[in-house]
Chains A and B, each alone.
Chain A
Amino acid sequence: MSVAEKLAAPAAPRLLGGLRRDGRAVPLAAHVERYGPLPLELRAAELLDRVARSGLTGRGGAGFPTATKLESVLRRGTRPIVVANGTEGEPPSGKDKALLAYAPHLVIDGAVLAARAVNAKKVIVATTSIVHAAVARAISERPREAGIAVRTLVVPDRFVAGEETALIQFLNGGPAAPTLTPPRPYERGVGGAPTVVLNVETLAHLALIARYGATWFREAGTPDEPGSVLVTVSGAVRDPGVYEVELGSPFAQLLADAGADGQAQAYLVGGYFGTWVKATDAHGAAVSNVDLAHFGASLGARAIIVLPPDACGVVETARVARYLAEESAGQCGPCVHGLAAIADSLEQLADGLHTADTALLRRRLAQVANRGACRHPDGAVALVASALRVFSDEVDRHLRGRRCTGHGRPVLPIP
């Protein structure tokens, strides 16, 4: 272990532990006091090695190994560019906004270190409008480090804008809509340069791995899924918000921390491309992809919504299906027409109309999957399919024209 790895790490929670009580961003001086200075003495190979040994995976949703992503832009003949993805278009997710608003220096540290690791000289922090000022202020507080230029840019507040290829096309002056792959951003990204796009939370973890080492990072989490993770919890809970938990920790503990009352009928796990999980199933589950796979779910965008007993899963999912249809970039026929038709089918079911036809709905779900340029239609299809599975009793009630359980306020947020 090298000298720098022995630097004392602050106590958990790792990312959110140093936040101010007044809701303002942690200034640079306080940030350095808590975490220590940026370890710019680390060479690129050492940085890459630490990230690889840490087992850090992307915290945006796809969960790709971060070291592999960094290595993908090396030796391509053109100097790479680093993009910090803080777009977070998921309505039920707030973790990236929280990180950028309250601890922007952690993210910028990570982005600068990622740039060091791949010998990039340009970093772009892509954000939603609401946190842009905090990020711009944090950048202006910092000296230019290691000759790396950091700038920030606002991306439209749309669901698909954060998809990697959509983000690249937008940064290149085009619309924030996905493009056909290949080429992937690591092959041809911003200005044609190989580009590594990393979620802002991923970069915050990277900033700490560079300082305290891979062994420290693995002290939290499980051997398969090391580290901590930010989760946004909302719905029927007393304290909705962003929580930092160890991967592999009990799902029930997270819910208790957020003040769930134990009356929930189901949870939406992973955001709007996520999966409904029955409350009875989730009871003994862990916050981990390995464990959630037993219920056909994954952490996805790390947003969890608690559905109370007086809500209807069919009605709630129909609202989100319509939202996702309207958030289609409008480029691919199967997505444009398919998601609208799926939303039609689900709304007829939700409204208890005699025209409701679940066989047709299932046929449409099967037809649309895997036929877009990006994964937007697939995510929407997966959500609706899980609703039909988990809320099968409710579906039957709707088909028979019985009164549904949903008489409370809408739960799933639609912008």
Chain B
Amino acid sequence: MSDLVLRVNPILCDGHGLCAELLPERIELDEWGYPIVDAAAMPRSLEPHARRAVAACPVLALRLERR
């Protein structure tokens, strides 16, 4: 398991939704288009995808944090 977890800053997030497209294993969108992030530990194999999702956020609202 990775020791990184995903966290969204809900104040910054504008619901662009790119993260859910890049990491559907961990992120789904609610009925208004805002991400619901699974904050549980994730397998290491998902880390590169998670990094891509973080980098793709236009407002830098998604972060990977150490647990």
Contact = CB atoms under 8 A, between A and B. Distances in A.
Interface in A355-378: 364, 367, 371-373
B30 A334 contact: yes
Nearest to B7: A180
A338 B13 contact: no
A332 B30 contact: no
B15 interface: yes
Contacts, number: 38
Residue of A179, A333, A337, A341 ringed by the most chain B CB atoms within 10 A: A333
B36 A371 contact: yes
Contacts of A332: 10-11, 13
Contacts of A367: 30-31, 36
Contact of B32 (A180, A331, A333, A372): A333
Interface string B35-54: 01000000000000000000
Interface in B11-28: 11, 13-15
B39 to A, nearest CB: 9
B27 to A, nearest CB: 13
A355 to B, nearest CB: 16
Nearest to A371: B10
A180 B63 CA distance: 13
Contacts of A373: 9-11
A364 B31 CA distance: 9
B62 to A, nearest CB: 13
A338 B36 CA distance: 13
A337 B32 contact: yes
A334 B11 contact: no
A372 B34 contact: no
Contacts of A333: 10, 13-15, 32-34
A341 B32 contact: yes
Contacts of B14: 333
Interface in A340-394: 341, 364, 367, 371-373
Contacts of B31: 341, 364, 367
Contacts of B33: 333
B32 A338 contact: yes
Contacts of A372: 10
Interface in A314-342: 331-335, 337-338, 341
Contacts of A338: 30, 32
A23 B10 CA distance: 45
B66 to A, nearest CB: 13
B34 A180 contact: no
A332 B13 CA distance: 7
B10 A337 contact: no
Interface string B1-12: 000000001110
A42 to B, nearest CB: 42
B10 to A, nearest CB: 4
Nearest to A333: B34
Given A334-B30, A367-B30, A179 B11 contact: yes
Nearest to A329: B11
Nearest to A360: B31
Nearest to A363: B31
A180 B9 CA distance: 7
A403 B28 CA distance: 40
A338 B34 CA distance: 10
A180 B30 contact: no
Top-5 shortest CB links A-B? A332-B10, A337-B32, A333-B34, A331-B11, A367-B30
Interface of B: 9-11, 13-15, 30-34, 36
